[in-house]
Amino acid sequence: MTLALVRLLQLASPTLPVGAYTYSQGLEWAVEVGDVRDPASALAWIGSLLEESVSCYEAPLAARLQLAWQHAEDDEVRRLNADFIASRESSELRAETLQMGYSLRRLLHEVDACALPAASPSLPEIAFPTAWALAAAAWRIVPADAVAGYLWSWCENQVLAALKIVPLGQSTGQRLLLTLGARLPALVERALALPESAWRNFAPGLALASSRHQTQYARIFRS
């Protein structure tokens, strides 16, 4: 259990070299147009996406992918990976998940190839949740903990982006994380129990923000 926890901390760390810090997932545009301008609006934006999109689709998908990796269900891995890539609302979001997925899979082969399955499905393009689930399966992380780590890592990246571009202070960032973190236990429980027929990621605000970000004149993030 202790080693699995250590591996989860490594996987969820902002120092994981997959480029997550270079993406804002539309948050930069929301700041540009004034939808996010202070701690309250930052919490509303991040919290809404967490509760209504990420925890309702990416989280249960990652949990199902972890089981598929563990049981060598190659067709299921391919299907869920393709579904997630197809679900990305803009070219930036699609490029983001593919770049991060590629980087994480390459990193796993470089640092701990012996823990990976000897045979794995052919995935020319691998989404980030698919690669995350592969790492969680290889390192024998409890699925509930893996989902919690995935959601926490997403929250932390969003808050770090808000610190830079709103901008917000470090203490404010920690208060945001404290509030968001308190929501995770219930969201993890829901994600693990959610049948695939109920998965959803309907977030038109995110889709519009990401699409607008693609032509934003001045920006520091890639999405």
Look at residue 17 and tell me if it is in a domain.
Answer: no
Look at residue 57 and tell me if it is in a domain.
Answer: yes
Number of domains in the chain: 1
Residue 58 CA to residue 84 CA, distance in Å, equals 8
Q: pLDDT for 189-205, tens place per residue?
A: 999 999 999 999 989 98
Give 113's pLDDT tier (boundaries 50, 70, 90).
confident
Look at residue 194 and tell me if it is in a domain.
Answer: yes
* DSSP label at residue 166: T
Residue of 69, 59, 64 lying closest to 135 (CA atoms): 69
**Helix runs in the chain, H state only:** 2-12, 27-32, 39-52, 58-70, 74-87, 91-112, 128-138, 143-165, 170-193, 204-213
Residue 58 CA to residue 121 CA, distance in Å, equals 20
* DSSP label at residue 198: G
Query: SS3 for 203?
Result: coil
Q: Does position 114 have pLDDT exceeding 80, yes or no?
A: no
Look at residue 140 and tell me if it is in a domain.
Answer: yes
- Residues in Cβ contact with 113 at an 8 Å cutoff, skipping those fewer than 6 apart: none
Give 119's pLDDT tier (boundaries 50, 70, 90).
low
* CATH number of the structural domain spanning residue 189: 1.10.4190.10
Q: Let me know: does 100 contact 20? Beta carbons within 8 Å.
A: yes
Residue 3's pLDDT is 94
Residue 118's pLDDT is 63
Q: Which domain holds residue 45?
A: 25-213
Residue 23's pLDDT is 93
Residue 46 CA to residue 128 CA, distance in Å, equals 19
Look at residue 61 and tell me if it is in a domain.
Answer: yes
Look at residue 107 and tell me if it is in a domain.
Answer: yes
Look at residue 160 and tell me if it is in a domain.
Answer: yes
Residue 197's pLDDT is 97
